[in-house]
Amino acid sequence: MPVKPWGTVRLSAGLYDLAWSVAHDDLREAGRHVADAYDPNDPATARTDRRAGYLALLAVYGQMLTALQANVDFAVAGALAVGSNFGEIGRATGMSRQAARQKWLRMTTRLAVTLSGGPRNGERDTACADADIVSEERTYWDRRRNQEVTVFSRYKKKYGSPQVYEFMGYEDASGRPARMPPPEPVERTPRPTSPPLPPRARPAEPPPQQRSGGGKARVHELAAELGLTSKQVLRDLALMGEYVQSAASTVEPAVARKLRSTHQPPE
């Protein structure tokens, strides 16, 4: 639905108020002594202060444009995922169908890319739009932290070579940098006690549907079950309206069943 003129005026005024509140704080953090009622639009304000105010306002507007474009792209991807066409998207964004198709067609196309460096050097994969490629490498027992650790590798599109993705490093399930996993999994061995006890058999690993308690499954477990990458599962969950933080997060059983049903071949 097109935005009404009076709505555009209100949006513009609201954006100005928001941008100026941020710019005002930035000026103070930069060491400029500005009053609470300082306004660059006021002719009574000193010329140097007005110039500094407008430049700070432009810097905030630039950040807002970047954030707004990312939000627009996210909304377009969601609209395409639920069956909207480029004509409807064009009307909603105030452009023609052809212009909308040229601008966002890449969101519907997956390209074959080559991975460079890291553990998957030389392998082929597919990437959608400008999304990074994140793949699970290994889950092992960290003796230093005395806990199980899952390590992921991240590949990012190479500047100037859209069909090559470079290795950026390892990260844990929360996205923080991680060490390279050991070449072989380190098994946790029980310490002998007095009197010695027979070694315990390691319990069988439950299926994905029974992990994490209450029938919840982790994102990387669903990815392994469906033959996808964790990044693809996170994207599909976002399109379903489920915003999950990382590959180690759990999803409700009903959401997991819905995700599995979307990837089952038609009978």
Q: What angle do CA 11, 68, 5 make, to 5 degrees?
A: 25
How far from the centroid of its chain's Cα atoms is residue 56's Cα? Answer: 29
Q: Which CATH number fits domain 207-267: 3.60.70.12, 2.60.40.10, 1.10.10.2480, 3.50.30.30?
A: 1.10.10.2480
- Rounded to an integer, what distance in angstroms lies between the CA atom of residue 232 and that of residue 184? 27
pLDDT (mean) for 228-247: 81
CA 124 to chain centre: 22
The H or E element containing residue 250 is strand 250-251
> Would you say 154 and 171 are in contact if contact means Cβ atoms under 8 Å apart?
yes
Residue 16 has what pLDDT? 81
Q: Which residue has the tokens 């140097």?
A: 48
Q: What is the pLDDT of residues 47-71, one digit of tens each?
A: 887 788 888 888 888 888 888 887 8
Reported pTM: 0.38
76, amino acid identity: V
**Residue 226 CB coordination number (10 Å):** 17
Asked if the model's pLDDT at residue 8 lies above 60, the reply is yes
Instruction: Using alpha carbons, select from 165, 104, 164, 154 the residue that is nearest to residue 129.
Output: 104
Rounded to whole angstroms, how far apart are CA atoms 130 and 104? 12
| Token pair in block for residue 180 | 């390279």
Nearest in space to 248 (alpha carbons), one of 175, 151, 173: 173
The pLDDT of residue 37 = 55
Residue 54, beta-bridge partner list: none
Range in 65-74, 123-132, 209-218, 247-256 the model is least confident about? 209-218
Q: Write down the pLDDT at residue 175.
A: 72
- Report domain extents, the chain: 5-106, 109-184, 207-267
Where does the pLDDT of residue 3 fall: very low under 50, low under 70, confident under 90, or very high at 90 and above?
A: very low
In this prediction, residue 219 has a pLDDT band, given cuts at 50, 70 and 90, of confident
**What mean pLDDT, rounded, does the chain reach?**
76
**Amino acid at site 239:** L
- List the one residue out of 141, 144, 136 whose CA is nearest residue 186: 141
